[in-house]
Structure 1
Amino acid sequence: VENLFYNMIAKKKTLQNSADDYGKIINLLNRMAIHHNKVSFSWPKHGAVKADVHSVVSSSRIDSIKSVYGVSVAKNLMKVEVSSACDFSGCTFDMDGFISNSNYVAKKTILVLFINDRLVECAALKRAIEIVYAATLPKASKPFVYMSINLPREHVDINIHPTKKEVSLLNQEIIIEMVQSEVELKLRNANDTRTFQEHKVEYIQSTLTSLRNDPPVSPLSSGQKTQKV
């Protein structure tokens, strides 16, 4: 994209903080890159020869996340999936994505949410996920979450925000509850496994320490006598 404001000089002059605007562009394209992993994104800053960020075409979502957000994020992700067809309420949707585990530590929540392949925000879903992380993990670490939700177009209300970035869903409470339950289940299972492994390592270490500290045992006890032949 070049010369975006070639015929809107007044609009261009209102953009006072170019560094802040560039950061917002990077944030947007990062999110687009991990969802559209069949497309390569490259974005250099104006006047720069080398791209600041470059995403690669990949068949794996994890590889796309790794190329954009780094190995430290990608190695601490767990797959989540929810599929529902609730005939009694008309609640039909599918969700798949990745959530960070208990080893991931961050100060700010990153929620990359696509609904029907459109990048959007859902404040209620974000709050529900943060509540699960705060209640499940020992530390109040903020999560990384990528989710793609597909549901009938008529079940999405895009007219609740002037920029169309915030959406509301039909049967939103049911959808959020099911997604929240899946996230909580994954976190608890992962946390239980981690606790078991830590206890196992502690037991092995304490056993080795005990063996090193114990005095060597003579093959003959004090009550036994040697017999000459």
Structure 2
Amino acid sequence: MRVKQLDDATINQIAAGEVVEDSASVVKELVDNSIDAQASSILVEIEKGGLKLIRVSDDGDGMEECDAKLSIERHATSKIATADDLVGVQTMGFRGEALASIAAISHFKLLTATKECGSLATQVTCSGGKSVIITNGARSKGTTIEVRQLFYNTPARLKFQKSCAASTSRIISVLTDLALAHPDVRIELRVDGQSRLFSKEMLEPDYIAQALPVCASKNEMRIEGMIGKPHVARSSRKGQYLIVNRRAVYSPFLTKVIEQAYGTRLNSRQYPIFVLTLHLPGESLDVNVHPQKKEVRFLDKERLSEFIHYAVQKAFAIQPIKVHVKPEKWSSPIEPVVQESFVAMESAAELPIKHVPIIGIKSPYVFISGESSPLSSHLKEREGIVMVDLRRVEERLLYEHTQSNSQSKEMQQLAFPVTLEFSKVEAERIFQQVEQLHQ
């Protein structure tokens, strides 16, 4: 087979596969651009999980006609000029690939205007990155980008997209990260015409109440935010938010450092909740790692690890101490405090051993001997000593009990309704399981 030079359309679709995984990645790239344009308010509108329509409108700086034409070309950007600019880059985007990649796999329209243009705007439309048309339009300062029929010309990619509900949930998760990283920007989401999300409603109501403030600085490093108290730890890492230099990131390294800083305050398979913002010198990290800029690399991991560990320990150290005030008068003891007479007893070695049941097992593990234990029926090995993790046994028994009850479909209505509070992300996941819950 001979080597061939690919055409621009094919190259753009391949590049789009790296930048655009789903509708949520489109929303992220467009909102990133709005934030870089100094927008103070961003409206995101989606239909059918973003596959039918994604529209992002902002009140940012906007673009002039010449910049608008160039913005959908590959590797065209206003954020860097040379490779040296990649060191310490502060903008959310910088590669100049997002708009070209999105336009290559959708029906694309851009409407933008600057403050100097008044209400006269520039409109750029294209389909699949081809047949680019430049016309005039009208809008106030800012930019609106409309993406319709995402993946319409890449059926293989479209086939692997998740359901509309799952895509919407993913978009909510992305906007949650962005809103926490940029609290000064108002972000609103409208799903199929209905407002579903605002920046101030990102976290569940009890999140802040069950958290400890974190604030520490050392040299050029600074960290702020909050960490959850140990008793509100979760069985998964949901509720963990990391922001580095105003960029929401995924960092197993940072997550592990934070969890290790909790030490023995957490049981095994428990994960803390936290919202932490790190401010680091730009030259100490590399954001040009992942095509979607999800990950970052750190230059001095050891120094950063020590700093985060110190900040978490400091947060626990400044917890308010409960003071117990002594009463002015003490009541007299009913019996003498000190025993006045003693009875001589035999040597302890000669005393018969009496087996007393243990009340309250502190350790999650217990040694069980013989068949008298209520766990005997659940143990296949009846001889010798068997070590059992009581927590896992309890979880398994509870799971089987719940499964057997769910199969019988017996339900009992509560005499008094119980109100549960959920975050927007959790509520969206519940909406996806409504039919199953009704069963």
TM normalised by structure 1 equals 0.67
Verify: 1:124 aligned to 2:253, yes or no: yes
Question: Quick one: structure 1 residues 181 and 44, their matched pair in 2 at CA, closer, same or farther if it must change by over 3 Å?
Answer: same
Question: Quick one: structure 1 residues 136 and 21, their matched pair in 2 at CA, closer, same or farther if it must change by over 3 Å?
Answer: same
How many corresponding residue pairs? 184
Question: Quick one: structure 1 residues 141 and 188, their matched pair in 2 at CA, closer, same or farther if it must change by over 3 Å?
Answer: farther
Q: 1:178 aligns with which of 289, 294, 307?
A: 307
User: Which residue of structure 1 lines up, in the alignment, with residue 178 of structure 2?
Assistant: 32
User: Which residue of structure 2 lines up, in the alignment, with residue 102 of structure 1?
Assistant: 230
Question: Quick one: structure 1 residues 127 and 108, their matched pair in 2 at CA, closer, same or farther if it must change by over 3 Å?
Answer: same
Q: Deviations over 1:172-225 (max 9, x none)?
A: 2211211112212322553x83xx57xx59x99xxxxxx8xx8xxxxxxxxxxx
Query: Is the radius of gyration larger for structure 1 or structure 2?
Result: 2
Question: Quick one: structure 1 residues 163 and 55, their matched pair in 2 at CA, closer, same or farther if it must change by over 3 Å?
Answer: closer
Cα contact 1:42–1:54 (8 A) shared by 2: yes
1:1-229 equivalences in 2 (<5 Å): 1=44, 3-4=53-54, 5-6=106-107, 7=127, 8-9=151-152, 10=154, 11-45=157-191, 47=192, 49-56=193-200, 67-85=201-219, 92-109=220-237, 110-137=239-266, 141-190=270-319, 193=321, 200=324
Q: Distance in 1 between matches of 2:290 and 2:264?
A: 30
Unaligned stretches of 5+ in structure 2? Answer: 1-43, 47-52, 55-105, 108-126, 128-150, 335-439
Q: What do you get for the CA RMSD once the two structures are aligned?
A: 3.1
Q: Distance in 2 between matches of 1:16 and 1:76?
A: 34
Cα contact 1:78–1:101 (8 A) shared by 2: yes
Question: Which has more helix, going by share of residues?
Answer: 1
Question: Quick one: structure 1 residues 102 and 14, their matched pair in 2 at CA, closer, same or farther if it must change by over 3 Å?
Answer: closer
Q: Report the alpha carbon displacement of residue 36 of structure 1 after superposing the two structures with TM.
A: 1.9
Q: Report the alpha carbon displacement of residue 12 of structure 1 after superposing the two structures with TM.
A: 4.2
TM normalised by structure 2 equals 0.37
Cα contact 2:249–2:296 (8 A) shared by 1: yes
Question: Quick one: structure 1 residues 19 and 189, their matched pair in 2 at CA, closer, same or farther if it must change by over 3 Å?
Answer: same
Identical positions, percent: 22
Cα contact 1:129–1:183 (8 A) shared by 2: yes
Cα contact 1:133–1:140 (8 A) shared by 2: no
